[in-house]
Amino acid sequence: MTRNTALREGTPEGHDSPGDTGLAALAGRSIVLVGLMGAGKTAIGRRLAARIGLPFRDADAEIEQAAGCSIPELFARYGEPAFRDGERRVIRRLLGGERLVLATGGGAFIDPDIRAAIRREGVSIWLRCKLATLVRRVSGRSNRPLLAGGNAAEILARLMVERHPVYAEADVVVDCTDEHPEITTGRVMEKLMAWEPPRRLPVKLAGSAYDVVVGEGLLGRAGALLAPVLPQRRAVVVTDETVGKLHLESLLAGLAETAIEARTVSVPAGETSKSLESYAGVVNALLAAGVERRTTVVALGGGVVGDLAGFAAATTLRGLPFVQVPTSLLAQVDSSVGGKTGVNTAHGKNLVGAFHQPRMVLADTATLATLPVRELRAGYAEVVKAGLIGDADFFAWCERHGGDVVAGERDAQAEAILRACAFKAEVVGEDEREERPSDGRALLNLGHTFGHALEAEIGYGGILHGEAVAVGIGLAFRLSVRLGLCEAADAERVAGHFAQIGLPASLGELNRRFSAERLVAHMRRDKKVRDGALTFVLVRGIGQAFTSRDVPADSVMDLLREEGCGS
């Protein structure tokens, strides 16, 4: 199997390069200043354009020139709706031309169509001012139609309540005071020079599409990032007790910036919460919170929370919007992408669930700093799996940089997340519901037939999922060698890399006694079984995985006994 996903040294095509900041990150994009009247958009915009070397345009001046009259006259003759329509057309025209610095009117960014155009073509900067500053600047001016015949302080205070949550969606926020515009322009430049946009990976499916957004500090920007994709500014955050203590406050603050009203449901930490009983509890909590069909469920946590909350979202009111905010490396590269949700039962792992795609995945690399190194290693198993399935070059990248990922090197982690997710996004895009048993999404189960059996035998929580997958991958390679499909050197190379990272690759490394018959019995209850036959993902070499349903049972038993399993 050959994959051509731009999963090579570098980044997925069409995305910002890692580490691009400031003017490098602005390449090809205009700079758009937004904010209330009196914020200084024109004065600062002229100075900013001169410093950067771009043309400057004032949207209000362009509107007046196009209309042949002043904005107050436009309001008086045709009303605000006609003015907004003209404003929309002028801003689209300006953004569709050469790069520029654009100062917009106070109401422009409130328009969803204008906001979307700015996101596509530019970088938005909110000049945020205190009420007293704005009042001093606009009092007595006759060219402000919204202030006509009213009290400036009262009108501006009302506009702040209405518009600030929308302005908060801007890419950059700069607080402005009564200082000289030159000083404020300098601070805007400083912010621009330090600005690093999150990296986005589109996941395109037959009936939907969403972005995986990767970057540092995304929880605090959650509202700005999610507001464009949420059907209403109401959400219920599902988290667990451990993650909630670490990250819930930051997420709620980020949502509140854009006036997204959020309530919280918490479950105990650990795999035991991924049960039918916990699922029923979450559903009842959602209904008690008064969710509507447009209320979004936000999963904040690792794979357990994501699978549990996603299944609750898929089934409550026959389907609620859903967002993944994964906080573990395992969840960021695996369970948060692809739409699989579900819970475990006494009969096996993930046997009850649904396909339910998220509206967005926010992978904040800062959350990885709170993980124990054992969990980072476990998550890394799903990273390296992408290379082993279909991209030998990516596996070679892992051999060079895997230690940095596990050691907490932020750039290496972001790169690993993007590349692993890009691989999975392509596979999911071709086979969203795992309907192609030979070469589709089922390939993502490399190591999982063995791994799920280990989890069921040891007990959920007794072994981390990524550790079980690592052992399963090692077994899948050795089974492929036993069947004459793969060179022994490839299996040894994989086991050596896992050992370098600190992951187990064989049953013997788990220091437990296993029964071959019991492990195979668990495999037969796996959801991948078809017509009673076991399904294995095998390999012809690194990056050459395929699915097989005709593996001799004796070969599996012999391998397990070779690994030290008893009868």
Given 144, 233, 452, 482, the catalytic residue? 452
Task: Kindly tell me the burial class for residue 317, based on how many C-beta atoms sit within 10 Å of its own C-beta (0-12, 13-18, 19 or more).
Answer: middle
528 a catalytic residue: no
Q: State yes or no: is 274 an active-site residue.
A: no
| Contact status, residue 486 vs residue 465, Cβ threshold 8 Å | no
Beta strands 545-548 and 536-539, pairing class: antiparallel
318 counts as catalytic: yes
Q: Which of 99, 137, 441, 528 is catalytic?
A: 441
The DSSP string of 69-81 is S-HHHHHHHH-HH
> Tokens 């600005």 appear where?
195
Whether residue 298 contacts residue 325, with contact meaning beta carbons closer than 8 Å, is answered with yes
Pairwise CA distance, residues 511 & 499, whole Å: 15
Catalytic residue among 57, 274, 349, 448: 448
Cα–Cα distance, 352 to 345 (Å, whole number): 7
Q: Which entry of 382, 415, 455, 467 is annotated as an active-site residue?
A: 382
Active-site residue identified among 62, 434, 467, 563? 434
Question: Given 271, 445, 482, 497, which residue is catalytic?
Answer: 445
Active site residue 47: no
Is residue 382 part of the annotated active site? The answer reads yes
Number of helices (H), then strands (E), belonging to the chain: the values are 23, 16
Whether 304 and 324 have beta carbons less than 8 Å apart is answered as no
Which position among 99, 340, 385, 478 bears the catalytic label?
A: 340
Cα–Cα distance measured from residue 427 to residue 518, given in angstroms and rounded to the nearest whole number = 32
Q: Which of 4, 98, 180, 318 is catalytic?
A: 318
Closest CA to 333 of 499, 506, 478, 465: 465
**What single DSSP character describes residue 125?**
E
Residue 560, burial from CB neighbour count under 10 angstroms (0-12, 13-18, 19+): buried
The catalytic position among 356, 377, 419, 465 is 465
Q: Is 452 a catalytic residue?
A: yes
Q: What is the rounded radius of gyration, in angstroms, for the C-alpha atoms of the chain?
A: 27
Active site residues: 318, 340, 382, 424, 434, 441, 445, 448, 452, 465
